[in-house]
Amino acid sequence: MDKVHDFLTILDGYIGGGPWFVYLLLFTGLFFTLYLNFPQIRFFGHSLRVVRGKYDRLTDVGDTSHFQALTTALSGTVGTGNIAGVALAIHLGGPAALFWMLITGMLGMTTKFVEVTISHKYRELDSEGRIAGGPMYYMKKRLNITLPNKKVLNIGAWMGAFFAGATILSSIGTGNMPQINSIAGAMYSTFGIPHIIVGAVLAVLLAFVILGGIKRIAQVTSRLVPTMALIYVIGALAVLIYNYDNLIPSIVSIFTDVFTGTAATGGFLGASVAFAFNRGVNRGLFSNEAGQGSAPIAHSAARAHEPVSEGIVALLEPFIDTICICTLTGLVLLSSGVWQDKVENEFQRADQYILADYYDESNTEDVKQLFGFYDGRTDVPRFSGNLEVVDGVITQKANKEITILHARSIAEDVTVSLDGEPFSGTLVVANGRLAEGNPPVRFRGASLIHSAPMTAEAYTRSFLGGFGQYIVSIGLLLFAFSTAISWSYYGDRSVTYLFGTKYVFHYRMLYVVAFFFAAFTDTTIIWALSYITIALMAIPNLIGILLLRKEIKETIKEYWIDFRKEHPDEK
C-alpha cells in the first residue's frame, strides 16, 4: 500500500498536482469571465428565476426539472470536498488555501455556465429514449477536423471517448470511493460502527437508488440536498458564535497569508505560497467540479427548450458549494484552531514516517528542515532497522533517537498496540516505513489531523460539545452518499456513450461493489487516486470549451435576443 501511495503521489505531481494544470484551470475560468463580461455576476439574479421554473414550457424536453438537475449536480459536488476536502486543503496549505478555493469558486461559476451550455446543446436520446448528454457529445460532434481534401480526422470522437473513459474511472475514484471511505471513518470514530458494516448497509441502499435511474436519483437528491445543508449550516454557526473572538483574525489570515505563506504555528510546520496556491485550487476543483465536465451530464437531463437557461442555472453550483459552504467550513476550522492543534488519534500508515534523527518543533532549524521535507525541497534521513517496543512504548523514541511524523507533524506520546493490547517486540522498518511481514500493529498518539476527522473535531469546539461530531457524521453521511448517487449517473451515461445501454447494469453492479470495498480501504491512497482522475476528465473538457469559445458566445447572444423578444419587460 505504501508503494501504491508513493506511485500515485508521483503521478499526481505530473498531472493534477502539476502547476500547469492549476494554471489551465484558472486561465479557462478567467478567460471566459472576461470574454463573456462577468456572466457569474450579470446573470446571477436571472439564474434564481430560471431555477424556480418561471420560464418553463410544457413542451420542454428532458427527464428532470431545472431544480432537480441543480440538486442532482449539487449532490455530486456538495460532499466530502466540503467537509473533508476543505480540511485537507487547510491542513496542507494553511489559511491561504481557502482564499484560492474561493477564487476557484468565483471563476468556476463561469466555467460551469459555459460547459453546461455547450453540453446541453448537443445532448441526445439513447436507445431507450432517455436523455444522454455531457462533454463527450459536443466533442464528438464539434471537435473533429476536416482537412482541405475533405478527409475528416475524428479527433473529437477520440477526445469524447477519452473523456467518457476518464469519467468512468473518476466515478469510482472521485464520486464513489472517497465518499464511502469518509462516511465509514466518521461512523467508526463517532459511533464505533465497524467500517465493513457501514459499507454493507449503504451499498444496499445505493443499489436501490441507482438501479431506478435518473428519475429516482433526482427525487432522492432533491430532498437530501436541502436537508443536509440545513443540518450542516446550523452546526457551523454554533462553532462560529462560540469562537467569535477568533473569527476576525481567521478571516484576516486567509488574505494575509496569500503572499507570504503560513509560518509554523502550533503543530503546523508551515506552508509555502506555491503549495497553498496549488492545493487550494486543486481542492476547489474537487469541491465544485467546475471544468471537470461532470455536472453537464446531470444538467443535460433537465427539461429545457434551449441550452443557455440550463447553463445559467448551473452557475449557482460553485456559488453554493464553494463560496458558501466551503467558506463556512474553512472559518469553522480556522476559528476553532483545530488546524494547528495536535489531537489524539490512530495513525494511518501511508501518512506516517519514522525518521532516523530526533527533531524538536521548538527548534527553528528543525522545523525548517521538516517543512522543506514536506514541501519537496529537501530530504531528511529516514530510519531503517529494528524498532524495539516494550509495553507499547518505542524505546528509541523514549531515548530520543528517532522522530515519528504523522499528518505533516511531529507525533507525540506515541504508543503501539496489537489487537487492542500494548505491543512488545521488534518491528522491522525500511526507509522510514514499516516493512512487510510485521505483525498488524497500530500506532497511536497526538498529531495533527486532516480531512473529515479535523472537521468533526472542530464541531466539538462549540456549545454543542461532543454532540458536534454527530452533526459532522450525519452531514457527511448525507453529503457523501448523495455524491455517490450522482456520480453513478455520470458513469452510467459514459458507459452508454462508449458501449451502449446494455452494459449499464454491469457498470452499476461494479459501482456498488467498489463502494462496499472502499469502506475499509486506506483513505490516503483513495484521496491520491481522486486527484488524478479529476485531471483526466478536466483536461479534454477545458481544451474543448476553449476551442468552441466563439460558438458558445454566439449561442448566449441568441438566447438573450430571443428572451427579450418573449419577455420585453424583464432584464
Q: What is the pLDDT of residues 528-541, one digit of tens each?
A: 777 787 788 889 99
Whether this prediction's pTM lies above 0.85 is answered by no
Cβ neighbours of residue 268 closer than 8 Å, sequence gap 6 or more: 94, 262, 339, 340, 408, 409, 448
DSSP-derived secondary structure letter, 406: E
C-alpha cell at 194: 465497524
Helix runs in 326-460, H state only? 327-336, 364-375, 395-398, 451-460
Are the beta carbons of 504 and 496 closer than 8 angstroms?
A: yes
Are the beta carbons of 128 and 504 closer than 8 angstroms?
A: no
Are the beta carbons of 432 and 382 closer than 8 angstroms?
A: yes
Helix runs in 305-448, H state only? 308-314, 316-318, 327-336, 364-375, 395-398
Are the beta carbons of 370 and 380 closer than 8 angstroms?
A: yes
C-alpha cell at 304: 429545457
Are the beta carbons of 121 and 145 closer than 8 angstroms?
A: no
Closest listed residue to residue 66, CA positions, set 74, 76, 75, 56: 56
Local confidence pLDDT in tens for the 571 residues of the chain: 667 767 777 777 677 666 788 788 889 999 999 999 999 999 999 999 988 888 887 777 777 777 777 777 776 666 667 777 788 889 888 898 899 888 888 999 999 999 999 999 999 887 777 888 899 999 999 998 877 877 777 888 899 999 999 999 888 888 888 788 878 877 887 788 899 999 999 999 899 888 877 777 777 777 777 777 788 888 899 999 999 999 999 999 999 888 888 888 888 888 878 778 877 777 776 677 788 898 899 888 888 888 999 999 999 988 988 888 889 999 999 999 999 999 999 998 888 999 999 999 889 899 989 988 887 778 899 999 999 999 999 999 888 899 999 999 999 999 999 998 999 999 999 999 999 889 999 999 999 998 878 888 999 999 888 888 888 888 778 878 888 888 888 999 999 999 988 899 999 999 999 999 888 876 566 667 777 877 888 899 999 999 999 999 999 999 999 998 888 877 6
Long-range CB contact pairs, 550-555, < 8 A, 24+: 551/118, 551/142, 552/32, 552/114, 552/117, 552/118, 553/35, 553/36, 555/117, 555/118, 555/121, 555/307, 555/308
Residue for cell digits 441543480?
A: 70
Cα angle: 193, vertex 194, 197; to 5 degrees: 95
C-alpha cell at 458: 472542530
Residue 248: C-alpha distances to residues 82, 236, 243, 334 (Å):
21, 16, 10, 10
Sign of the torsion formed by the C-alpha atoms of 559, 560, 565 and 568? positive
What is the third-level CATH fold of 2-341+458-563?
A: Amino acid/polyamine transporter I (1.20.1740)
Are the beta carbons of 287 and 281 closer than 8 angstroms?
A: no
Domain chopping of the chain, boundaries:
2-341+458-563, 345-447
Q: What are the beta bridge partners of residue 291? A: none
Nearest 10 degrees: Cα torsion 298, 300, 302, 303: -170
Cβ neighbours of residue 359 closer than 8 Å, sequence gap 6 or more: 366, 369, 370, 380, 403, 410
C-alpha cell at 471: 452533526
Q: Alpha-carbon distance 59 to 403, whole Å?
A: 68
Q: Alpha-carbon distance 350 to 217, whole Å?
A: 35
Cβ neighbours of residue 389 closer than 8 Å, sequence gap 6 or more: 395, 416, 423, 424, 425, 426, 427, 441
C-alpha cell at 65: 426539472
